[in-house]
């Protein structure tokens, strides 16, 4: 339906505009990136491109492999030319909430080691300020033994509520690709995301936050009718 068409339009537009022969490409996680990887594979075959793909999750690894693309590692390719990823929300300054799919830590590592980082998504993700569309809170990856004091620290320092993300088809909490747990922090009235990100990151036991502040170079948003807008 409309949302999938929007995701696909954004993904194809971005791949057509940004992917070039010889690139090392960071491949994000989630559902939108699937369309991007399928388009990359199409272009590689049609144009005989040589690209190397670095995954941001087990899902991304499997997606790269299943689409016949070259699966590479940060050991071999520590400098990434371009990283492509989805997001849960993107504000007017290109700050993102990511981690809805629980892959934020490896996603942020890849994005931070890329020369350029681009977001792709349907127009639901395009907002003026964070929290407008995405109501599930900021995902935070934490060391399992510390999740409870971290919850208390975040709530004491920043308000809101930090909830342990529970699995649906496995008993107990979601366990990330890195063997950690996730908190989803439901916030109120936040404007200084740089400050908030720093406060959360400094709490011992916090591995990473889903706040990607001033990291994206541009965001491609697709609508149901196939049109794409670019926020730079
Ligand atoms: O978990 C993530 O950060 C994903 O990129 C996610 O936020 C985007 O997922 P979607 O493309 O399925 O909306």
pLDDT at residue 149 tops 90: yes
User: Collapsing DSSP states into helix, strand and coil, what is residue 124?
Assistant: helix
Distances in Å between the Cα of 104 and the Cα atoms of 57, 62, 123, 130, 145 are 9, 17, 21, 17, 19
Distance from Cα 169 to the centre of ligand 1, integer Å: 19
SS (H, E, C) 139-153: EEEECHHHHHHHHHH
Q: Which residues does ligand 1 sit against, CB inside 6 Å? A: 28-32, 85-88, 98-101, 103-104, 107
Band of the pLDDT at 27, cuts 50, 70, 90?
Answer: very high
pLDDT at residue 46 tops 80: yes
ipTM score of the complex? 0.96
- Looking from the CA of residue 100, the nearest atom of ligand 1 is 1
pLDDT computed for residue 204 by the predictor: 98
End-to-end CA distance of the chain: 27
Q: What Rg do the C-alpha atoms of the chain give, in angstroms?
A: 17
pLDDT computed for residue 1 by the predictor: 77
Band of the pLDDT at 83, cuts 50, 70, 90?
Answer: very high
pLDDT tens-digit profile of 8-23? 999 999 999 999 999 9
Q: Report the share of the chain in percent with pLDDT over 70.
A: 100
């Amino acid at each position: 339906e409309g949302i999938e068409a929007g995701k696909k339009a954004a993904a194809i537009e971005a791949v057509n505009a940004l992917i070039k022969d010889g690139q090392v490409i960071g491949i994000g996680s989630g559902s939108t990136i699937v369309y991007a990887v399928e388009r990359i594979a199409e272009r590689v075959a049609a144009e005989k491109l040589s690209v190397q793909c670095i995954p941001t999750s087990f899902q991304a690894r499997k997606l790269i492999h299943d689409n016949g693309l070259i699966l590479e590692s940060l050991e071999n390719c520590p400098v990434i030319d371009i990283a492509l990823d989805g997001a849960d929300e993107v504000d007017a300054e290109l700050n993102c909430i990511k981690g809805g799919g629980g892959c934020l830590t490896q996603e942020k590592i890849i994005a931070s080691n890329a020369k350029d980082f681009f977001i792709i998504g349907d127009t639901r993700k395009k907002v003026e300020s964070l929290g407008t569309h995405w109501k599930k809170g900021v995902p935070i990856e934490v060391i399992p033994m510390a999740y409870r004091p971290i919850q208390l620290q975040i709530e004491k320092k920043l308000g809101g509520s930090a909830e342990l993300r529970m699995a649906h088809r496995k008993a107990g909490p979601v366990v990330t690709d890195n063997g950690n747990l996730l908190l989803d922090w439901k916030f109120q009235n936040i404007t200084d995301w740089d400050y908030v990100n720093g406060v959360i990151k400094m709490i011992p036991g916090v591995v990473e936050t889903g706040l990607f502040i001033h990291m994206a170079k541009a965001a491609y948003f697709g609508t149901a009718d196939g049109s794409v807008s670019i926020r730079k």
